[in-house]
Each structure stands twice: as structure tokens, then as C-alpha cells.
Chain A
């Protein structure tokens, strides 16, 4: 599915990723943990192609396609999805219009015809209910005036609509209350299948109680310094990051 090899990237002349390697197989859920400033969010941005994040070495491929040469929209069409830590507000563009454009584009790329408005509405309402969002949100501007929790649930709703191959969740749990965390986790778990993979970036072990990972990695200073099974997350929770960094 995803293969990252010795990836190096910088932002404004500052090296952030310093030789990161990672392989995610179809159906796997990988958790990436690590202290502030270790490069967790940068990894998501680099993989999705955000402007200003410059790759200086290494490679990243999704199902054999070199991701790093593609525009962000091309990567999305190939099945990459990044759930943002801070989704932007776009007043004036309705959620509905945005989602329809997005789903139509991705379907078009997959050679499927666009959904008519009625079936799209039905589908969008269904997904809203799945993440406990009032369908009236569809009429509002994209993320406009949404609370932190509503924005995160909106991200998961988009993920469910687009049915991507690889989902990167960038601290989707931050700022969520317990109920919202459960809703987000249920959304992710509902999407899990043998062909879809996840990278869950998080600070806390808590989310991993709900979304059980296959692998856990510790990112520090732009590199993965330790990998293990789900029990690694528990160990980190108990001892902090310093015991690995020191080792």
C-alpha cells in the first residue's frame, strides 16, 4: 500500500524529516506517536503535498505510484486522505457543494458516473448520521462556525464519503470529548477493511483503546526510533517518550 523510504523534508530551510522509513500494508492500522515537534504533522503534509513542505530526499509511493511528484488533488484521487488537525473554514462555499464536487471528482477518476443530487443527498445524510452530525451542517459553509469537535467529525464524514485507500488522521483526537472520541473511532472502525489502511497520528494512547493498531511507531527528531505492537503505546503512556530517546 504505502512505502516510505528514507524520506527527508524541510520547511522554510529547517529540516524536519530526517530519513523516515515506513511500510503500511493493505488493511493495516499504524499509529505514530511522538513528542511535540518530532515531525508527525509534517509527515501528513508531505504525503498530501502541502505547499511549502519541500522534499529533499527519499521516496514515498502509494500502490506503486510515486506520490511526491503529484499535485495534492492527484494524490487524493489516487486514494490518499488526510484528516486535518485544524480544518480550515471556507465561508460562502457550502459543505454540500464542496462534498459533491469532491465525490464527483474522485468518482470520475475511478471511471464512475457522478451521483445525481438526490442519491448524493441521501448518501451525505447517512454519513452525517454515522458521525452524529446534524444534516443541516451540509447547508452551512465548509467548517464555518463549527466547533472543534464538529470539524473533526466533518473530517471523518468526508473520509467515509470518499472511501480512500490510505487514511492519515492527524491528531483527530485532540480537543475531542469522550463521546466525540467514541464517534470518531466508530467511524474509523466502520471503514476498516482488508483493502484500506490507516496512519493514526496521536499524542495519547487513549484513542488507541478505541482504534486498535497493528503497529505503533515512535517518531522523534524526524525519524522513527522505535516500532512495536499495540502494547508499545501502553508502555509509552506509562514511561513517557524520554526512556526511548535516551536509549
Chain B
């Protein structure tokens, strides 16, 4: 099965996707995918003339033929390989976008129901369809393309009134292929009324199984839709820890109903292309969101976070802090928008982005943005770009600390405050280790 990005006028070679969809055995899912495919035709292949893609050069995807990549895997083997403790986590495993089902239903907490789209009953089908309709599928071509390509998705439902003790851990392993390839996955999570849970989305590459050539493109599309129902509370994190030569275009949308709360954490070290669109939608009054993000691209990697926080109703609070350290010739883009709708009086929204450039070649494009249609709101936004403070380096040096260590201390110091906000101790330990390893070879 081949999928071609040909040129600007003929973006996707449809027939190849259609034949894949036709092999789908679940009729509603087939319909769902076909309708998504229809939507792709409404969208042009993005180029840098559009604001959203201005700082992402995806022209390397053009004129390439991407195969839909699948591979047989052994679930237990992977779980062992990634050192996952199934006693401590509710593990959902995705390999090359495909959900690898559990053999044992006792695997998950009782209050969690995990259903592949292909096994969804009528009411679940309606729920899934409804979530996608509400998710602004038309934002860009990759969102409907993801749905069209994804052979199956997963619906995770958390029972109302329940507190899930073990984090729900979604591990997406993308195996690198020696040929140009694409994989896609989609997840819908429903947090029932009055429920509490922690969700960890982890994106990893696996290189051992196949030998990858430098030239091949390994593109992953990903789409997560999380719905927080009334008075539900969710801690969430999304960790992009893929290899440098992987590419990801992904989208996360979290919708908050009345009195619900979200604490979300993002981490990326970048890759050939690492683009995450984050949409947070406050749909119910008195809902609260907190987004914290750290990005540390180095070498020639890129990172792109596009965030959009919607205050659709009154009395909601949002906090967003992203910080990046850009090393070598890496490139980062941060776009943060707060959108206050007309009826969203008493909204309280704050957004802040700070960047540290370690070299003259490092690049950051940052754009904080407010769009406000209500008149009784508190909104603040700001962005800074700085180089490492030479006076601070000298101060540390004057106390015996060498320049390299001083730079490292200052860099870690720049993001320490954000790391400290991670509440899960295991997650904090993993990320502290990642950060230290990432900043270890600062020159």
C-alpha cells in the first residue's frame, strides 16, 4: 500500500488508501475512515505560506511515496524491553500506530474500559463519532488523514466516580523502517463525571528490529482526544522521546466540562520533525487547566508546539508555561494562543514562554497571542528569548566551577522550576535523568 505526496495540487494518492480502507472488516469504521478521507480532499498540502506551517519545512515529504507500515510484534517482549511494570501501570501499547490488545482483561483496573474502535458497540460508536466531529477535524490535512489511515483506534472510558490509582500509560512505539513509511494512531479518552486519573502518553522509537538508512522518512501521525466530564480531574503528560530521525505530526485536544481540572506536562527533545498541536477547550464553567512544557532540541532537530486555549464559558482558569533550551543548530517554534469567547467573562488566563539559545545557530520562533471578545477578564501573555547570562557564568567560575559545568547548571536552572511541578515521583526521576543526559554535552 502506497501513499504519495505528489505535489501541491494532488496531495494524496487516494486509491491506495481506499484499498486499505476496503480491507477493513468493521462497517462503521470503514464509513468513518472514508468520510475522513473525503475531508482530506478539502485541504491543500501545507506549505510555508500558511501561518500555521510558516516555521515548519515539510517539503521533504513531498515527492515521496510512503508505505503504511505494519509489523508483527510480541507484546510481552516489548513490555519487558521497555521495563514497564504492569503492576504499577495500566499499560496500553501501540506499535506503529496499531493498538496491541491485551490477552487478559484483569490487566486493567476494573474502572477502566479499553475498547478498540473495531469492537465498539453502537453507543460507543456514536460517542467516538461525536468526539471527532467536535474536534475541528478540518484544522489541517493531517488530522483527517490520520483518521483515514488509522486501521483501528482505541476508546478508553473511565467509570464515573472512580479514582484510578495506577497511571494509564499509553506507550507508542514507532519502529523505524528502511523504506519511507507512515503510521498513524488515534485515542479517545473519556473521563467520567467525578473521576480522577493520571494519563501518560509516551512516544518512543525502536531501531533494533530494522536497519534504517539515513534517507528514509519515518512519519508518525497521532491524534488524542481527551474529554473531561463534569468534576473530573486529570493529570496528563505527553513525552516525545523519539529518535532524531523520526518525524511526528500530532494533535491533542482536551475538552473540559464544568468543574473539571487538568494538569498537563509536555516534554520533547525534538527530532527531524516533531510537531504537536495542542487544543484545550474550556466548555464548562469553573474548569481549570495548567500546561507546563519543556523542549530541549539539539543537533539539527526541530520542535514545534502550537497551543490554543479556548475559554468558551465564564469563570475558567488557565495557566500555561513553556520553556525551551535550543542547542547547536536546532530549531524550535512555539505558538501560544489564548482565545476568550464573548460569554467567557471572569476568565483568568496566563501564558508565558521563555527560551534560552545556546549557540548563534540555534533558532526560536515564538508567538504568544491573545484573542479576547469578553470585557471582564484577566489575561497575561509574554515571551522572552535570551542567551546564557555571561555574568552568571563568570560568577560561577569565580567560585571554581568551570565554564562547561556553569553553563549546564544555568541551563538546568532555567527549567528546574518547571520540573519541580511534576507530581509523579517516577516520572520526575525519568525526566530529570533525560534532562541531565540531554544537557550533558553542552559546550
**A interface residues with partner B (beta carbon < 8 Å):** 48-51, 71-73, 75-77, 81-82, 84, 87-88, 90-93, 97-98, 101-102, 105-106, 109, 141-142, 158, 162
Tell me if A72 and B392 are in contact (CB < 8 A): no
Q: A77-B400, A105-B401, A162-B399 are in contact. Are A141 and B394 (CB under 8 A)?
A: no
| A residues near B409, Cβ cutoff 8 Å | 93, 97-98, 101
Tell me if A88 and B412 are in contact (CB < 8 A): no
Interface core residue of A71, A77, A82, A92 (most chain B CB under 10 Å): A92
Question: Could you show 17 A-B contacts with beta carbons less than 8 Å apart?
Answer: A71-B403, A73-B397, A73-B402, A73-B406, A90-B389, A90-B396, A90-B413, A92-B413, A92-B416, A101-B405, A105-B401, A105-B402, A105-B405, A106-B400, A109-B400, A142-B395, A162-B400
**Majority SS of interface residues in chain B?**
helix
Interface residues of B in 386-443 (CB under 8 A from A): 389-392, 394-403, 405-406, 409-410, 412-417
Tell me if B415 and A92 are in contact (CB < 8 A): yes
| A residues near B390, Cβ cutoff 8 Å | 51
Q: A88-B392, A90-B392 are in contact. Are A102 and B414 (CB under 8 A)?
A: no
| A residues near B392, Cβ cutoff 8 Å | 88, 90
CB distance from A94 to the nearest CB of B (A): 8
Task: List the A residue with the shortest CB-CB distance to B399.
Answer: A102
| Bound CA–CA A75/B398 (angstroms) | 8
Q: A90-B410, A92-B412 are in contact. Are A102 and B400 (CB under 8 A)?
A: yes
| Bound CA–CA A51/B405 (angstroms) | 17
| B residues near A92, Cβ cutoff 8 Å | 410, 412-417
Listed from nearest, the 5 A-B pairs whose CB atoms lie closest are A92-B413, A93-B413, A72-B397, A76-B400, A102-B399
| B residues near A75, Cβ cutoff 8 Å | 398
| Bound CA–CA A109/B403 (angstroms) | 16
| A residues near B406, Cβ cutoff 8 Å | 73
Tell me if B410 and A76 are in contact (CB < 8 A): no
| Bound CA–CA A101/B417 (angstroms) | 19
Q: A92-B412, A101-B405 are in contact. Are A51 and B396 (CB under 8 A)?
A: no
Tell me if B413 and A72 are in contact (CB < 8 A): no
Task: List the B residue with the shortest CB-CB distance to A79.
Answer: B400
Task: List the B residue with the shortest CB-CB distance to A106.
Answer: B400
Q: A71-B403, A98-B409, A101-B405 are in contact. Are A90 and B398 (CB under 8 A)?
A: no
| B residues near A141, Cβ cutoff 8 Å | 413
Binary interface profile of B, 92-118, with partner A (CB < 8 Å = 1, else 0)? 000000000000000000000000000
Task: List the A residue with the shortest CB-CB distance to B415.
Answer: A92
With beta carbons under 8 angstroms apart, the residue of B391, B398, B417 that contacts A48 is B398
Interface core residue of A73, A81, A82, A162 (most chain B CB under 10 Å): A73
With beta carbons under 8 angstroms apart, the residue of B389, B397, B412 that contacts A71 is B397
| A residues near B402, Cβ cutoff 8 Å | 71, 73, 105
Tell me if A98 and B400 are in contact (CB < 8 A): no
Task: List the B residue with the shortest CB-CB distance to A77.
Answer: B400
Tell me if B391 and A88 are in contact (CB < 8 A): yes
| A residues near B400, Cβ cutoff 8 Å | 73, 76-77, 102, 105-106, 109, 162
Interface residues of B in 37-92 (CB under 8 A from A): none
| Bound CA–CA A115/B400 (angstroms) | 16
Tell me if B399 and A51 are in contact (CB < 8 A): no
| A residues near B412, Cβ cutoff 8 Å | 92-93
Question: 5 other contacts beyond A51-B390, A93-B416, with CB at 8 A cut-off?
Answer: A49-B397, A77-B400, A92-B417, A101-B401, A102-B400
| B residues near A142, Cβ cutoff 8 Å | 395
Task: List the A residue with the shortest CB-CB distance to B390.
Answer: A51
| A residues near B391, Cβ cutoff 8 Å | 88
| Bound CA–CA A48/B398 (angstroms) | 7
Task: List the A residue with the shortest CB-CB distance to B413.
Answer: A92
| A residues near B414, Cβ cutoff 8 Å | 92
With beta carbons under 8 angstroms apart, the residue of A49, A91, A98 that contacts B399 is A98
| B residues near A91, Cβ cutoff 8 Å | 413, 417
| A residues near B403, Cβ cutoff 8 Å | 71, 73
| B residues near A48, Cβ cutoff 8 Å | 398
Q: A71-B403, A158-B399 are in contact. Are A51 and B413 (CB under 8 A)?
A: no
